[in-house]
Structure 1
Amino acid sequence: MNIMNTTIFNDTHGKIDAMAVPVLMFGVGVMGNVITIAVLCRSKQERRESAFYTLVCGLAVTDLLGTCLASPVTIANYFEHRLDANHALCEFHSFILLFFGVAGLSIMCTMSAERYLSINHPYTYQRWYINHHSARRGLFVIYLLNIIFCSLPMLGFSKIIPQEPDTWCFIDWRAQNHLHAFYSYLYAAVNSLFILLTVACNVAVCGTLVVMQRRKTRQVSARGGSDQKTLQSLSVEIEMMLLLIVTSVVVLACSTPLVVCVFVNQIQLAAWNKNVDLLAIRIASVNPILDPWVYILLRRTVFHKVLGAWKRLFGVCRRAIRPQGPPQVPPCVMD
C-alpha cells in the first residue's frame, strides 16, 4: 500500500514538474499581451487611430487568444492524456495551432505591407484612405480567411492526429493520401509566402528610410538650422520601423522551424525525428509570449511604467509577508 501511494505521489509530482514551464509561459504570455493592449488603448489619439498601431493591437489580441485557447488544453493534457482519446478535442487543438500560426504571420505581413505603402508609396497610401478603420476591416478579413483555410482539415482535406509524445495535435504531415499531402504543402507554402513578403517589404522600407535620413540630414545642414517638424516625423517613422523589424524577427524566427518541419516531413527528405517536431512546435508556442514584451521593452515609457508597477507590487508583498516583531518599548528616562 505504501509502495502504491509512493508511486502515485511520484507520478503526480513528476506531472506537476513537467507542466511548470507551460504554466509559467501561459502566465507571462497573458500578462504581456494584456499590458500591451491596455497601453495601446490608452495611448495618444493619433497613435491609437493609426493603421499600424491598430494592427499591432490586433496582433496582441491574436496572441492573447492563442495563448488562452491553446495553453489550457496542453496543461490539462499533462494530467489526463485526452488528446489521443478525444478526437474532437484533438481537432480543436490542431485548429488552434494551425489558425494562430498562420494568423500571426499574415498580420505581420500586413503590418510590413502597410509600412511599405506608407513610406515607399505615400500618394497611393493616401489615395486608398488607409487608416485605423481599414486596418480593422483588414483584420476581420484575415480572421475570416484563416478560419476557412484552417477548417479544411476537419472537412476532410487533411487528417488530424496526435503528435509525439501525445501532448499536441496537428495535421498528418507524412500523409500518403494525395489530398492530405496537398494541404500540407499548401499550408507550408502560404506561410512561406507570408515570410518572404514580410522580409521583402521590411528590406525595401529600411533602404528607403536610410535614404530619407541622409537626405534630411543634408537639407538641415545646408539650411544651417533644424526643421523640428520634419525630423520628428522621420523619428516616428523610424520608431515604428524598429518595432516592426524586431517583432518580425521574433515572429519569423519562431514560425519558420514549424514551416520547415511541414515541408521536410511531407517530402520525407529525412528520417522522422519526433524531437525535432516537438522542438519546432515549442518554439512556435513561444511567439505569442515574446511579441508583447518586444513592444514593452522598445517603448521606454511603457517599460518604466511596468517596472514601477512591479516595484510597487514587490514592496506591498514584502511588507505583507514581513514578520512583525514585538512592539518596541521606549527606554525609561531616569530623572
Structure 2
Amino acid sequence: MMINGTVALGDLIGLGHNHSSFPALRLESRSLVTSATMFAVGVLGNLIAIVVLCVSKKEQKETTFYTLVCGMAITDLLGTCFTSPVVIATYVSSRWPGGALLCHFFSFSMLFFGSAGVSILCAMAVERYLAINHAYFYSKHIDRTMARFALLVTYLANIVLCVMPSFGFGRHVRHFPGTWCFLDWRAADALGACYSFLYGGVMLLLIAVTVLCNLAVCRSLVGMNQRTGRVRTELCEQSGSRRRFPRLPSVTSAAEIQMFWLLVFMTIVFLVCSIPLVVRKTVHCKP
C-alpha cells in the first residue's frame, strides 16, 4: 500500500545497498512513470474509499469497523502524499531535492505511516475477532468512541516509536538508487541495531496478531456454518418433509461477514507490500 506506492520496483532491487550521498544519479525514465502511476493510483484509490465511506448508509458509518477503515484510508492517503512526491521530484531532477532534513522527514514518514497502517489493520482484526467471538463483550464495551480512542493511541504510540531515530536511536540514510530514505539497517552501533530490531519486532508482532485474529474468526465462521447446517438437517429429518424451512437466525449478520472479508483482502494487500521490507530490514540488522 503506502510503501509500495512510494518506492518503485526498481528501487527495491537494491535494498541491500545504502549510501549517505549519491552525487550522480542515473535514474530510468520508466521508473518515473511507475512511481507517478503508483502515486496517482494510491491517491485516487484512497479518495474513492473515503468518499464511499462518507456516502455509505448511516448505520454503517456509525460502526466501529468503518471508523477504523476510514482511519486506515486517511493514514494511507497521507503517507502517499508525504513521500511519493519526493521520489517523483528526485526522478525528474536526477538529484535529491533536499538535504539531510528532508531525508530525516522522508524516513520518519516511511516509518510512521508504515507502522501506523499495520497498527490500524491489527486493531481492525481485533475488532472483528471480538465482534464474532465475544459478541456480548463487544456490544457492551466497543463503540465508535472506543475506535476513535484506539486511533488516537495508535498515532501517538507510533509517533513516539518512529521519532526515536531523530534523537540518536538509529540513523536515517538514503538507499539505492538514491530516491528514498529509511533506517540504516546495517548500523554497527548498539543503539542503531537495537532500534532496528525494536521496530522490526513491533511490526512482526502486529502482523502476527492480525493473522491470528483473522484465522480465529475464519474458524468461528466455519464452525457456525456447520452448526447451522446440522440444525437444519435435524429439523428436516424430524418433520419428515423436504419442504423449505425459514432461514434460521444467524449469530453473525451478512454485514459483519462482509466486513471480515474486506479486512482479509486489506490484510493480504498490506502484507504483500510491507513484509518484504520489514523482513529484509530485520535480517540485515547487526547487533
Pairwise TM-score range, normalised by the shorter structure: 0.7 to 0.9
Q: Of the two, which has the highest radius of gyration?
A: 1
Residue pairs, 1:257-268, within 5 angstroms:
257-267=276-286
How far 1:63 sits from its partner (Å)? 0.9
How far 1:138 sits from its partner (Å)? 0.8
Q: Tell me what 2:33 maps to.
A: 20
Q: Tell me what 1:311 maps to.
A: none
CA distance in 1, matches of 2:28, 2:279: 30
Alignment equivalent of 1:47, drawn from 56, 60, 70: 60
2:187–2:286 Cα contact (<8 Å) kept:
no
CA distance in 1, matches of 2:229, 2:257: 14
> Could you tell me the percent identity over the aligned residues?
47
Query: 1:33 and 2:50 equivalent?
Result: no
How far 1:140 sits from its partner (Å)? 1.2
Read off the aligned partner of 2:53 and give its amino acid letter.
L
Q: Tell me what 1:214 maps to.
A: 226
CA distance in 1, matches of 2:80, 2:102: 16
CA distance in 2, matches of 1:208, 1:267: 41
CA distance in 2, matches of 1:45, 1:150: 36
1:220–1:226 Cα contact (<8 Å) kept:
no
How far 1:57 sits from its partner (Å)? 1.1
Alignment equivalent of 1:243, drawn from 262, 265, 268: 262
TM-score (structure 1 length as normaliser): 0.71
Residue pairs, 1:1-335, within 5 angstroms:
16-78=29-91, 79-82=93-96, 86-128=99-141, 130-221=142-233, 222=235, 225-227=245-247, 230-231=249-250, 233-267=252-286
- List structure 1 segments (4+ residues) > 6 angstroms apart after TM superposition: none
**Superposition RMSD in Å:** 2.1
How far 1:147 sits from its partner (Å)? 1.1
How far 1:205 sits from its partner (Å)? 0.6
The unaligned stretches of length 5 or more in structure 1 are 1-13, 269-335
How far 1:132 sits from its partner (Å)? 1.7
Cα deviation code 1:224-261 (max 9, x no counterpart): 52237x35953222211111111111111211111111
2:193–2:286 Cα contact (<8 Å) kept:
no
More helix by share: 1
Read off the aligned partner of 1:82 and give its amino acid letter.
W
Q: Secondary structure at the match of 2:95?
A: coil
1:171–1:184 Cα contact (<8 Å) kept:
yes
Q: Tell me what 2:240 maps to.
A: none
2:200–2:282 Cα contact (<8 Å) kept:
yes
Read off the aligned partner of 1:252 and give its amino acid letter.
L
Gap change, CA 1:102 and 1:67, over 3 Å in 2:
same
1:213–1:234 Cα contact (<8 Å) kept:
no
Aligned length: 254
Read off the aligned partner of 2:246 and give its amino acid letter.
S
Cα deviation code 1:245-292 (max 9, x no counterpart): 111111112111111111111149xxxxxxxxxxxxxxxxxxxxxxxx
Cα deviation code 1:69-118 (max 9, x no counterpart): 111011111114226x6000000110111111111111111000001111
How far 1:66 sits from its partner (Å)? 0.8
TM-score (structure 2 length as normaliser): 0.83
Read off the aligned partner of 1:225 and give its amino acid letter.
F
Higher relative contact order (CA 8 A, sep 6+): 2
Gap change, CA 1:198 and 1:233, over 3 Å in 2:
closer
Read off the aligned partner of 1:175 and give its amino acid letter.
A
The unaligned stretches of length 5 or more in structure 2 are 1-26, 237-243
Q: Secondary structure at the match of 1:90?
A: helix
Moved more, 193-202 or 17-26: 17-26
Q: Secondary structure at the match of 2:181?
A: strand
CA distance in 2, matches of 1:226, 1:110: 36
Moved more, 189-198 or 253-262: 253-262
CA distance in 2, matches of 1:166, 1:112: 36
How far 1:18 sits from its partner (Å)? 3.4
How far 1:186 sits from its partner (Å)? 0.2
